[in-house]
């Protein structure tokens, strides 16, 4: 009998448990994964209309301008 035939005929273990990891991860593996988890400050661009710092490719929060025209009505009252 060939090896793979014997393997195919071997009775399967009836097991209702979920698959579980065989070994616990090392501390190095965990810390290497978490090396990229830190948050970074968002890059900011200057608004060409009011020269306030704004997020790039977004309308300005201060003046409501985007691509040289007003797209959001920003109330003057504060």
CA distance linking residue 55 with residue 61, whole number of Å: 9
E strand segments, 1-78: 45-46, 53-54, 65-66, 69-70
Check residue 71 for interaction with Zn ion (CB under 5 A).
no
Among 20, 23, 63, 71, binds Zn ion (CB under 5 A): 63
Q: For the CB of residue 44, give the shortest distance to Zn ion in the complex, in Å.
A: 12
Tokens representing 42 are 């968002």
| Alpha-carbon distance values, 18 to 15, 22, 24, 51 (Å) | 8, 12, 16, 57
**Of residues 21-50, which lie at the interface with Zn ion (CB under 5 A)?**
47, 49-50
Check residue 66 for interaction with Zn ion (CB under 5 A).
no
Check residue 72 for interaction with Zn ion (CB under 5 A).
no
Which stretches of the chain bind Zn ion, using CB under 5 A? 47, 49-50, 52, 60, 62-63
């Amino acid at each position: 009998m060939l090896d793979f035939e014997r393997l195919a005929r071997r009775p399967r273990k009836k097991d209702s448990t979920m698959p579980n990891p065989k070994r616990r991860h090392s501390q190095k593996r965990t810390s290497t994964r978490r090396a990229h988890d830190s948050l970074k400050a968002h890059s900011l661009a200057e608004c060409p209309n009011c020269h306030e710092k704004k997020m790039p490719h977004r309308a300005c929060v201060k003046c409501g301008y985007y691509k040289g025209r007003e797209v959001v009505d920003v109330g003057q009252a504060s």
